[in-house]
Amino acid sequence: MELNHTHDASARSWLASANEPGCDFPIQNLPFGVFRRRGTDEPFRGGVAIGDQVIDLAAVSASGVLDGLAADAARAAAQPALNDLLATGPAAWRALRHALFAALRHDADATVVSALHACLVPQSAVEHSVPTRIGDYTDFYTSIHHARNVGRVIRPDDPLTPNFQWIPIAYHGRASSVVISGTPFHRPHGQAMAPGASAPVYGPCRRLDYELEMGFYVGPGNALGQPIPIGEAEQHIFGMCLLNDWSARDHQFWEMAPLGPFLGKNFCTSVSPWIVTMEALAPYRVPFAHPADEPQPLPYLDSAANSAQGGVDVQLEVLLESAQHRAKSVAPDRLSATSFRHQYWTIAQMLTQHANNGCNLQPGDLLGTGTISGPTYEEAGAIVELSLGGTRQIPLAATGETRTFLEDGDTVVLRGWCEKPGAARIGFGECRGEVLPAIGG
């Protein structure tokens, strides 16, 4: 992906809030989501975040201010889900981004500014839904640091499975339980086998965890039986979001042999409202490589472009806000921070792997990256890693509490952003969810 004028760090919008330092949504970002005014029964429709506002794409489409491919793309986005927009492909996505960029620039034509003004809704006044009708959700497992950290809990002698360095491994998750950020969920019930016990017990999860992940949404996709070569993979990726793969570790570790995660994972998966497009992320692409003394990708997972810029440098952090944080009105505690650049496989490799047997990916499908843990302890993306399998108390400095796993009333907040000298800072907003008590106690 080449850089172009929409990445110009000096570009400014006529909307003052978009130019504020530290703003997640400057004119260089323009992420897509689905929204309506909160508390109304308006239909959900596509929108783009700019500053502290949302551009209503249904209103933009109706205004007639766009033409050509950009108008076609806005029309496709003026619906309760973005599947039709994602199906249009990169040329239409680019046309709409570039048209909105031109209309939002500080020097845009006065009639265009006037038309766009009428399409703005304050972000503080909207609610979101999951941005696409997700036909299928697949979760990968592509952080070697997370795999080793969790592997040590399950298999101390042999933490890394032999396939990890050869295959971007994954499991098929549940699309039905993917929820939008802000949706609370009840602590799940399930079966767990305590160490040394002779029989499992059934009850509320006692080792509830989050997983810091990113997700990416499939664009046009492939016909059944037709693989997607790695050289074409990114043409099928619309953009990225924040994703929390809530996990019941006690249920998961008992149930997952030999077929993999099931009920320990599928009670809730949270996604952020905004999808940051691959074009917006272009300034933050970084090289990808496996260490020279480790297995190198097989040819179908290897390309010069993927090696040159297959990675994405997204800064990520995990915050925990307990009931006590809220009662004391203190800021949440930061549990960890890392970057997506440390992942062992790239999003292009994940998508190509998913389709290499001819499995058909469809517009709006959601692929998760797996937990994102960096190389050091402080960069762990799940509480099971930070608490060393529940054996270490994690201090919450702001309230004096400690945690080994999540407690009822805990809200986990994921944040992501990209920042470097010479490029505009862009953000993902946040992905949050609160743990409610188990139903029936």
Task: Decide if 146 is catalytic.
Answer: yes
- Mask 168-207, x = binds Ca ion (CB under 5 A)? ----------------------------------------
Nearest distance, CB of residue 196 and Ca ion, angstroms: 27
Indicate whether 209 belongs to the interface with Ca ion (CB under 5 A). no
Long-range CB pairs of 336-339 (<8 Å, 24+ gap) are 336/212, 336/378, 336/379, 336/380, 336/381, 336/386, 337/378, 337/379, 338/212, 338/372, 338/373, 338/374, 338/379, 338/380, 338/381, 339/313, 339/314, 339/315, 339/374
Shortest gap between Cβ of 406 and Ca ion (angstroms)?
A: 15
Give the residue with the Cβ less far from Ca ion, 72 or 211. Answer: 211
- Beta-carbon contacts of residue 395 (< 8 Å; ≥ 6 apart): 401, 402
Sign of torsion over alpha carbons 7, 8, 13, 17:
positive
Site track for Ca ion across 226-255, x = CB under 5 A = -------------------x----------
Cα 148 to Cα 210: distance, rounded to the nearest angstrom: 17
With binding defined as CB under 5 A, does residue 279 bind Ca ion?
no
Task: Report if residue 211 touches Ca ion, rule: CB under 5 A.
Answer: yes
CA separation for the pair 288, 308 (Å, rounded)? 6
Q: Which is nearer to Ca ion, 78 or 386 (CB)?
A: 386
Binding region for Ca ion (CB under 5 A) out of 6-14, 132-140, 416-424, 427-435: 132-140
The Cα 371–Cα 214 span in angstroms is: 8
Q: How far is the CB of 269 from Ca ion (least distance, A)?
A: 8
Interface characters, 336-375, with Ca ion (x: CB under 5 A): ----------------------------------------
Tell me which stretch binds Ca ion (CB under 5 A): 208-216, 298-306, 324-332, 334-342.
208-216
Between residues 26 and 370, which has the closer beta carbon with respect to Ca ion? 370
In the bound state with Ca ion, the residue whose beta carbon lies nearer, of 246 and 284, is 246
Smaller CB separation from Ca ion, 182 or 260? 260
Active-site residue, from 7, 128, 145, 146: 146
At closest approach, how far in Å is the CB of 146 from Ca ion? 9
- Least distance (Å) between residue 368 CB and Ca ion: 6
Cα(310)–Cα(329) distance, rounded to whole angstroms? Answer: 42
Contact with Ca ion (CB under 5 A): which of 139, 321, 379, 410? 139
Nearest residue to the partner Ca ion, using Cβ: 245
215 burial level (CB within 10 Å; 0-12, 13-18, 19+): buried
Stretch that binds Ca ion, among 19-27, 62-70, 135-143, 385-393 (CB under 5 A): 135-143
> Smallest distance from the beta carbon of 371 to Ca ion, in angstroms?
5
- For Ca ion, the binding residues (CB under 5 A) are 139, 211, 245
Catalytic residues: 146
